[in-house]
């Protein structure tokens, strides 16, 4: 597989909020539609720069919405 799944540790609403906030930073991730996987986000592998951008944006988003 060329992606990883990250369990957001809460419910579907929290995972959706993460997806929406990452999109505002031009970071595209997917979210499974079925319970219980819908509490996760799916991050595709990219270039090293893509992954650094994701890491930075993900950290910022988590700090902001918690």
- Predicted confidence (pLDDT) per residue in 3-47, tens digit: 999 999 999 999 999 999 999 999 999 999 899 999 999 999 889
Task: Compute the distance between CA of residue 35 and CA of residue 11 in angstroms, rounded to an integer.
Answer: 9
How far is the CA of 45 from the CAs of 4, 10, 11, 14, in angstroms?
8, 23, 24, 22
Tell me what the mean pLDDT of segment 44-62 comes to.
Answer: 94
Q: In which element (H, E) is residue 5 found?
A: strand 3-7
pLDDT at position 2 is 87
């Amino acid at each position: 597989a060329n992606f990883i799944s990250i369990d957001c540790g809460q419910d579907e609403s929290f995972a959706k909020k993460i997806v929406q906030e990452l999109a505002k930073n031009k970071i595209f991730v997917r979210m499974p539609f079925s319970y219980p996987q819908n509490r996760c986000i799916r991050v595709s592998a990219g270039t090293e720069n893509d992954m650094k951008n994701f890491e930075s944006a993900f950290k910022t988003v988590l700090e902001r919405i918690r």
